[in-house]
């Protein structure tokens, strides 16, 4: 049995605030400037341009390219883009921690011979560092971030890319997530069984007609369910 997990809101509790003045003043300083508001406007303009250039709404652009353009416009080396992205994320982040039971759950699943994978809508320039910060990067047999895949959930293609990259069959997989639209609707449409947990980060979708295979009330119940499924 293979378990594919969402990250933010499912395994990790996170909150960011990209409106605070300290973020944009800090980015301005890193770029050798003083006007944080103009940096904010430039960033959002570049992000909008990247969004507008997408072929369809489930295409995922790589945010690292935005930071590269901001550096390039100032004659700064684009090789510093990952560093700028990390600083941006740290300045915007207000909370990042694992939900209870997560490390033990992932470790126990692997001990039972289950495949443990991450398939998440996220930006690799943020997420790769945060997986190590959370201490769970080594828990996964494979990791697929939507910015690397070029497509995001709920589009079926990201699940097909994951199956091909990881060498697994989707019919042998269960997807675990906290979003009824992106996670449960997307994975169900790709032929996976699903496990849903509602958290503070879960989206609200009135009228959405999707029912997960399993629903759990907390991470302790999730752990027991997944370990029992791994034994089957």
Mean pLDDT by 10 residues, the chain (232 residues): 97 96 97 96 96 86 97 97 97 97 96 96 97 97 97 96 96 96 96 96 90 97 97 84
- The answer to whether the beta carbons of residues 214 and 195 sit under 8 Å apart is yes
Considering only CA atoms, which of 150, 151, 159, 157 is closest in space to residue 177? 159
Which pLDDT belongs to residue 39? 97
So what's the pLDDT on residue 53? 85
- Continuous segment of H or E residues that includes residue 3: strand 2-5
Please give the Cα distance from 105 to 111 (Å, whole number): 10
Cα–Cα distance for residue pair 29/17, rounded to 1 Å: 18
Q: Are 109 and 228 in contact (CB under 8 A)?
A: no
User: Comparing C-alpha atoms, which of 180, 159, 177, 179 is closest to residue 168?
Assistant: 159
Q: Structure tokens of 203? A: 């989206």
Nearby residues of 167 by Cβ (< 8 Å), 6 or more positions away: none
Tokens standing for residue 208: 């959405």
Nearest to 122 by CA among 79, 164, 74, 158: 158
- pLDDT of 56 reads 81
Full-model pTM: 0.94
Three-state secondary structure of 9-73: CCCEEEEECCCCHHHHHHHHHHCCCCCHHHHHHHHHHHHHHHHHCCCCCCECCCCHHHHHHHHHC
């Amino acid at each position: 049995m293979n378990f594919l997990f969402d990250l933010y809101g499912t395994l990790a509790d996170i909150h960011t605030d990209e409106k605070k003045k300290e973020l944009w003043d800090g980015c301005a300083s890193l770029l050798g400037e003083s006007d944080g508001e103009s940096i904010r406007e430039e960033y959002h303009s570049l992000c909008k341009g990247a969004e507008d250039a997408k072929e369809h709404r489930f295409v995922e652009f790589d945010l690292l390219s935005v930071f590269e353009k901001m550096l390039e416009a100032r004659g700064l080396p684009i090789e510093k883009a990952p560093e700028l992205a990390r600083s941006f994320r740290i300045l915007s982040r207000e909370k990042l921690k694992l939900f209870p039971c997560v490390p033990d759950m992932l470790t126990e699943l692997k001990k039972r011979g289950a495949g443990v994978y991450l398939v998440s809508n996220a930006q690799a320039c943020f997420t790769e560092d945060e997986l190590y910060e959370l201490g769970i990067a080594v828990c996964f047999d494979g990791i697929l971030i939507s910015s690397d895949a070029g497509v995001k959930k709920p589009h079926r293609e990201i699940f097909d890319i994951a199956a091909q990259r990881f060498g697994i069959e989707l019919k042998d997989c269960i997807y675990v997530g906290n979003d009824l639209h992106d996670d449960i609707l997307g994975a169900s449409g790709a032929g996976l069984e699903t496990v849903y947990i509602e958290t503070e980060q879960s989206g609200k979708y009135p009228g959405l007609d999707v029912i997960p295979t399993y629903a759990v009330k907390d991470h302790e119940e999730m752990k027991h369910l997944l370990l029992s499924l791994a034994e089957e």
